[in-house]
A and B are shown apart, each in its own frame.
Chain A
């Protein structure tokens, strides 16, 4: 015998706090950082625990193309286990995390039984004749089956697995999409399934379906964002590599022409060599940026690393005719950053500053304690061309660059370092007036360790 119900339910009344608690727990799954599987299991728990809707067991079938595939079967294996589980779940004050833990434990025990059995099952969800449970996904109706053994519309494989005479098939609908089917039964208590149970289960089903739908959308969004980011990286690298390749190819063609004199040959070979080195540099920098794993920050003496960076900076500034002024605190505190990494950060900032500053301009580096004793500030200021407001927003995006031959990887690296050590980066800049980078690291005094 079969009874059919509709989702739109006008006479359902939330009489007791039991239902409210249940709905509130299910709603929370939207906002919890647990996996899709954990959250789905929580919804299944709500359907089966004594304090929830009160079904004994629930099967979850996912719609995959036009087939329903078994995913999980939650519930106890015996009346004794059922009683103990429901006691645990009815404990006052039990929260979301405890239920998740409980489910994980239950699943690991049940791995050999319920879920493993159901994962071997799949049913057609289209075509004629379409039997239960596939028909539920096909016709999108809630179906209560009684006296299942004598019901020709039920797939015998389901009957054999579930082993009960009465069960509820609930389609999971989100928008116009069927995501799967829940099958609920009372295998241990043998309580008849009441109209009220069906209606409450229908609401849980809607919540579960919307949860799965949202989670799927979110996953797709993350994937497409990743692909978009990959696309940008690929595009940038293509551009960076194509220019030197075209140059190399073009000058090689000239070399192969008759009448290429010795001076031109030498010049072309030099250009080709320079462009090959540039390609090597691009490959190195991209590889370095993608591969490098930052060392764990520790409180360390960073003075030698800073001094080394300054020495390199002085050479670069001298070559360009830029004045480089340095003020390093004589006895700096211990800074929470891997010293070699901090050296690289300083070199990046100095290189950028020198490059942005025209000959005759000035670059200033200050490294000192902050106003707060637990902060160490590295500040690099230049009198270069400055950064426009529009560019400022994009500064820390990988592969964003305003330089002719820049890769746009220096500042994203600095941002990563500062995030790792819990520091901050501040950029002050005005077009035509120069740029000021202020990096604040956590630090502590050697003499007063905390």
Chain B
């Protein structure tokens, strides 16, 4: 079973993603800030990281930088409410950028694509 680490500070939204991705057959671990994400990444192995940007504490972009520092080759999906961060070159370090939408179809398709790669 593929393991996904989901970083999302909005708790109801995190719950929605968690349930929906479990239903797709993934093992999902949810954390609400990037410090906890780094700790999890150091302690456990994951197949995919999904992170929001613009969270309290360390930002999602910071998290990506740290993941790169950990020399983890884990694929990363940025899942943001902001369309405009696509222009920030640091987000290019991620493998995909999905703007949050109530239809999770695009996110699910990207996850599938990256995990099969």
Using a CB–CB cutoff of 8 Å, the interface residues on chain A facing chain B are: 235, 238-239, 242-243, 245-254, 271, 274-275, 402-404
Residues of B within 8 A of A243 (CB): 10, 13, 81, 100
User: Are the C-beta atoms of A246 and B102 separated by less than 8 Å?
Assistant: yes
CA distance A245 to B12 in the complex (A): 11
Tell me if A404 and B12 are in contact (CB < 8 A).
no
Docked pose: A197 CA to B64 CA in angstroms = 69
- Contact B82–A239 (Cβ < 8 Å): yes
CB distance from B104 to the nearest CB of A (A): 7
A246-B56 contact, Cβ under 8 Å, with A235-B84, A238-B82 = no
Complex CA–CA separation, A245 to B83 (angstroms): 15
Contact across chains for B19 and A246 when beta carbons are under 8 A apart: no
**Do B82 and A253 touch (CB < 8 A)?**
no
**With A235-B84, A242-B81: A253-B102 Cβ-Cβ less than 8 Å:** yes
Contact check: which of B9, B83, B101, B103 meets A404 at CB < 8 Å?
B9
The chain B residue sitting closest to A385, CB to CB, is B57
Bound complex: CA A271 to CA B13 (Å):
10
C-alpha gap A252/B100 in the complex (Å)? 16
Size of the chain B interface, CB-CB below 8 angstroms: 19
A250's partner among B20, B56, B81 (CB-CB below 8 A) is B20
Chain B residues with CB below 8 A from A248, complex form: 102
Q: How far apart sit A247 and B19, CA to CA, in the bound complex (Å)?
A: 12
**Within the assembled complex, what's the spacing in Å between the Cα atoms of A249 and B102?**
5
Q: Evaluate contact between B54 and A239: CB separation under 8 angstroms.
A: yes
Residues of A within 8 A of B83 (CB): 238
Q: A247-B10, A403-B56 are in contact. List 15 more A-B contacts (CB 8 A).
A: A235-B84, A242-B100, A243-B10, A243-B13, A246-B81, A246-B102, A250-B104, A251-B12, A251-B16, A252-B102, A253-B103, A254-B16, A254-B20, A275-B12, A402-B56
B84 touches A250 (CB 8 A): no
Query: Could you pull out 14 A-B pairs where Cβ atoms are within 8 angstroms?
Result: A243-B10, A243-B13, A243-B100, A245-B102, A246-B16, A246-B81, A246-B100, A246-B101, A247-B10, A247-B13, A248-B102, A253-B102, A275-B12, A404-B10
Please judge, given known A-B contacts A246-B102, A249-B102, whether A239 and B81 are in contact too, CB under 8 Å.
yes
Most interface-central of B12, B16, B54, B81 (chain A CB within 10 A)? B12
Residues of A within 8 A of B54 (CB): 239
Write out the residue numbers on chain A whose beta carbons fall within 8 Å of the beta carbon of B101. 246, 249
User: Which residue of chain B is the closest to A405 with respect to CB atoms?
Assistant: B10
B74-117 vs A, CB cutoff 8 Å, 1 = contact: the mask equals: 00000001111000000000000000111110000000000000
* Nearest 6 Cβ contacts at the A-B interface: A249-B102, A242-B81, A250-B16, A239-B81, A246-B100, A247-B12
Considering only CB atoms, which chain B residue lies closest to A274 in the complex? Answer: B12
| List of A residues within 8 angstroms of B9 by Cβ | 404
What is the distance, in angstroms, from B98's C-beta to the closest C-beta of chain A? 11
Q: Determine if A238 and B81 form an interchain contact, defined as CB atoms under 8 angstroms apart.
A: yes
The answer to whether A254 and B19 touch (CB under 8 A), given A238-B81, A238-B82, A243-B13, is yes
Q: Restricting to B1-54, which residues have a CB under 8 Å from any CB of A?
A: 9-10, 12-13, 15-16, 19-20, 54
Tell me which residues across on chain B come within 8 A of A239, comparing CB atoms: 54, 81-82
